[in-house]
Chains A and B, each alone.
Chain A
Amino acid sequence: MTKNPKLVLPEIENYHSYSVYTANGGYNAARKALKQTQDEVINEVKASGLRGRGGACFPTGLKWSFMPKVSEKPKYLAINGDESEPGSFKDRQIFEFNPHGLIEGALIAGYAMGIKAAYIYIRGEYHKWVNCMQDAVDEAYAAGVVGEKMKATFGIDFAMDIYVHKGAGAYICGEETSLMNSMEGDRAYPRFKPPFPAQVGLWGCPTTVNNVETIATVPAIFNVGASEYAKLGAQGHAGTLLYGVSGHVNRPGVYELETGILLTDLIQDVCGGVKNNKRIKAIIPGGSSMPPLRGDEIEGIKMDEESLKKLGTHIGTAGVMVMDEDTDIVKVTLRIAHFYHHESCGQCTPCREGCGWMEKVLKRINKGDGTSQDLDLLLSVCDNIEGNTICALGDAAAWPIRGFILKFRDEFEAKVKKNRSFQALNVVHGRRESAKTLVFEN
């Protein structure tokens, strides 16, 4: 296979329409997969090494195998297109340019797990892309590849429905259990796990939640073959990724490339380098909830989960945010804290209150009213949020704040010191002991 094949976003004009999609081999993967047994399909996906593209990188085939084989209740597939992670804008490309790839992937996934209906959850802000997706689903129904008619089309005793569900502006809905509550018609509060969605999911029935890109990649596996697909990209994290590069680069955008590409190549060769030839100060490799990297440590870094994990960060949604040397890191951190404060659903105290306090303290530091102790206070708030909440939003809020403070402490301290010749760390007047907590800084 050629290097960096375009499997998820082929560069073919009008690929979004059913006729062009089928003229280019569309729905052949489904024809192939639907002739195999369910276990064979799952094993094929396992063998391909496909890992979830929503951020957690969970092996997709393994996730599918968690679904009960026999169930009295109907089984559902929820496709997560909430895509609200700042820096991430890849699923939108699939809705616009390859919606039938998503539908075909959903059919294969649905067949493998015996799904009754698949729901595609798309964030509310994506008005246009909800319509793109709905049009494609309508086309697929009309062509008889989805719904009751697919029995005749594919010549098998299996049918599933696909529906599009539009969100209404809540980052938390990208969390799988919260997405299910949102779809059920409740406030989108995350649920405790266990029970996991494969046991108790949508409407109390077994459910699998997969990211849009994950499902849209499935047809490619059956087209090229699992063993060929597994050879693509980095070891332990096979395939191609939709990298979304934004910030201070000359050519921002979504690029489909193999995993394990050098971060420097991605920025220099693919995205045309940094604007105005400036140096890089910081990079967030996978959406705003991932810990950042310093510009001086990116040499030789490969963009796949295993490589990034060694550096204390993650590939996440592969939303790469590039910041040049003039970037105010404190301001960026404050903006991220504001985001998580705004988006915390309010269910768990550590996240609801902690995110609020992080924003307040960072505001104070950004204005020049902070103290050095505020930095340690922020780190302690991070420690108290992480791991103490029902869902991962708390962790997602804590990681970047901690990451920025640890990697750019000098920038925070500079803001602290700028307006202050001394700082009273413990303001208890009239007591001799308090004198030792007075720190003089120049």
Chain B
Amino acid sequence: MEIKFNESELAEVQMHIDKYPIKKSAIMPVLWMAQKKFGYISKEVMMFVGELLDLPYSHVYGVATFYTMYFKKPMGRHHVQVCTNVSCMLLKGDELFDSVSQRLGIKHNECDAEGKFSLEEVECMGACGGAPLLVINEDFYENVDIDKVNSILDSLN
């Protein structure tokens, strides 16, 4: 895919720039936009974002690699996240992660060969009252168990 934004996307970039007193501050929202469009933040994407915001590649690299939610490699269409932090672990979130990992045949931060699923063992996502938690892309599924998770995964294509 060509690393380029269309006109309406460039207008959105400008809207983000206008929110802050300096251009550099728009880097996080622009990286989010780039990830949504290009799937992950490759070296080319980082250079492109740098050009948009007049920042050196090294700076964009520094920021993009600091945050876990900017993917540095291609991830699956369905990014499956299971929390294993304390509140979820107390309600067997760690066993849930192992079972999902076994079912998908991939480990933490891996993507399957078809690019359908990727898996991440996440830290607390702020759903402790609904533990254990499964997140697929941006959707939270709270109070899940192994059966529920399996049926959710079955429903995805």
- Binary per-residue interface labels of chain A (325-346) against chain B in the complex, 1 for a CB within 8 Å, 0 otherwise: 0010001100110010011010
Q: Which of A170, A182, A332 is in CB contact (< 8 Å) with B89?
A: A332
- The reply to whether B67 and A335 contact each other, CB–CB distance below 8 Å, is no
A339-B19 Cα distance, complex, nearest whole Å: 33
Given A127-B138, A128-B140, A170-B68, A339-B123 contact (CB < 8 Å) = yes
- Tell me the number of A-to-B contacts counted with CB atoms below 8 Å: 143
Q: Is the CB of B126 within 8 A of A182?
A: no
Scan residues 110-150 of chain B and give those whose CB is less than 8 A from a CB of chain A.
122-131, 135, 138-140
A185-B89 in contact (CB<8A):
no
A128–B123 alpha-carbon span in the complex (Å):
18
**In the complex, are the beta carbons of B87 and A168 less than 8 A apart?**
no
Taking a contact as CB atoms under 8 Å apart, the answer to whether A183 and B63 are in contact is: no
With A87-B87, A323-B90, A335-B86 in contact, is A168–B67 under 8 Å at CB? yes
A240 partner residues in chain B, CB cutoff 8 A: none
Tell me whether A321 and B68 are in contact in the complex, defined as CB-CB below 8 angstroms, given that A86-B86, A86-B123, A128-B138 are known contacts.
no
B69 within 8 A of A: yes
Interface: A314 (CB within 8 A)? no
A359 interface contact, C-beta 8 A: no
Per-residue interface assignment for chain B, residues 20 to 32, with 1 indicating a CB less than 8 Å from any chain A CB and 0 otherwise: 1110111111011
Q: Known contacts being A246-B129, A254-B129, is A339 close to B90, with CB within 8 Å? A: no
Interface residues of A in 63-115 (CB under 8 A from B): 74, 83-89, 91-92
With a CB–CB cut-off of 8 A, which chain A residues contact B128?
86-89, 244, 246-247, 252, 319, 321
A residues at B contact (CB < 8 Å): 74, 83-89, 91-92, 123-128, 163, 165-171, 182-188, 203, 244-248, 252-254, 284, 288, 319, 321, 323, 327, 331-332, 335-336, 339, 342-343, 345
Given contacts A92-B126, A125-B126, A319-B128, 8 further A-B contacts (CB under 8 A): A85-B124, A89-B128, A166-B32, A168-B67, A170-B66, A185-B27, A203-B22, A339-B123
